[in-house]
Structure 1
Amino acid sequence: MDEMVFFNPGDAIANSKDFGEAVRGAQIYKAKDPYESSLIVAEDVSDNKSFVVYFAKDEKSHVKNSDKSVIPYHLKKKI
């Protein structure tokens, strides 16, 4: 599952240098409110050792070249 996704870094729920820790954080967050939007664990394209958790609903589908507030990530896991 190495799909490219785009998010605004300010929308991040959590981040970590460890993939397992990012996934655990997302699972804990999801357990608190299971009816909230799905969560995405993504890997930063510019820093392959940094993982970030976002709400799936915050994904940016249309990215303009001039929009510097949106960053590409590699999708690693959906929760």
Structure 2
Amino acid sequence: MTEENVLFNPGDAIANAHDYNEVYQSAQIYKHHNPHTLFIVSESDGTPYVLFDQDAVTNQGHDQKKYRVIKKM
């Protein structure tokens, strides 16, 4: 399985926590009101888990950070 990485500005995060289930629950609530594609991602060490809206994906910029995709919703 190929690992997928995306670039986000950490300031665009919707939620973050060290508990995956907490971020997943936040994603479900957010998705109910905003039917966009969401990404639950983590830094290379696996924590913390961070939730981003697909609209926040960036291809360039000095504030971007590379994250590993854990789940697309």
Interval of TM-score (by shorter of Structure 1 and Structure 2): 0.7 to 0.9
TM-score scaled by length of structure 2: 0.85
Equivalence map 1:1-79=2 (5 Å): 2-34=3-35, 37-45=36-44, 47-61=45-59, 63=60, 67=62, 69-79=63-73
Q: C-alpha offsets along residues 10-67 of structure 1, whole Å, 9 cap, x if unaligned?
A: 1000001011111111011111233xx211100122x422000000121113x46xx2
Gaps of 5+ in 2: none
Aligned mates of 1:33, 1:9 — CA distance in 2:
20
Aligned mates of 2:71, 2:46 — CA distance in 1:
15
Q: Percent identity?
A: 35
Gaps of 5+ in 1: none
Higher CA-based Rg:
1
Q: CA RMSD in A?
A: 1.6
Give 1:2 shift: 3.0
Aligned mates of 1:10, 1:40 — CA distance in 2:
15
Count of aligned residue pairs for this structure pair? 72
